[in-house]
Amino acid sequence: MDAEDLKVATFHSHYGAIMFRKRIGDGQLRPVPRSLSSSCGTAVFFSSPFDSSMADENTEAVYVKDGDGWRRIWKA
C-alpha cells in the first residue's frame, strides 16, 4: 500500500467494516488507530480513491494519511 494514498475508514460496527471492504474490493481490516479514537472498533485501511458513494449508514468517517497523522476527508 502506497503511504501517500493510505486511507482509513471507521465504522459503527464490525459488520460495517466487512461490508465496506467487500464493496470497494480493497483494503485490510485492522483496529482503529489510537490517535483517531479511544474506541476499539474495526477500521479498513485502503489505498483506492475514495468518493462518498462508497460509504453507507454504517460508515463513520474516512481519513487520509497526512505526515505522521491523519486528516479527515469525509464524515457521516
- Check binding of 18 to other proteins (CB under 8 A): yes
Closest distance between other proteins and the C-beta of residue 51, in Å? 21
- Nearest 10 degrees: CA dihedral of 17, 23, 27, 28? 30
Distance CA 53, CA 39 (A): 25
Distance CA 41, CA 49 (A): 23
C-beta separation of 61 from 70 below 8 A = no
Closest distance between other proteins and the C-beta of residue 28, in Å? 9
CB-nearer residue toward other proteins: 25 or 40: 40
- Check binding of 69 to other proteins (CB under 8 A): no
Task: List interacting residues with other proteins (CB under 8 A).
Answer: 12-16, 18-19, 29-31, 33-35, 38-42, 58
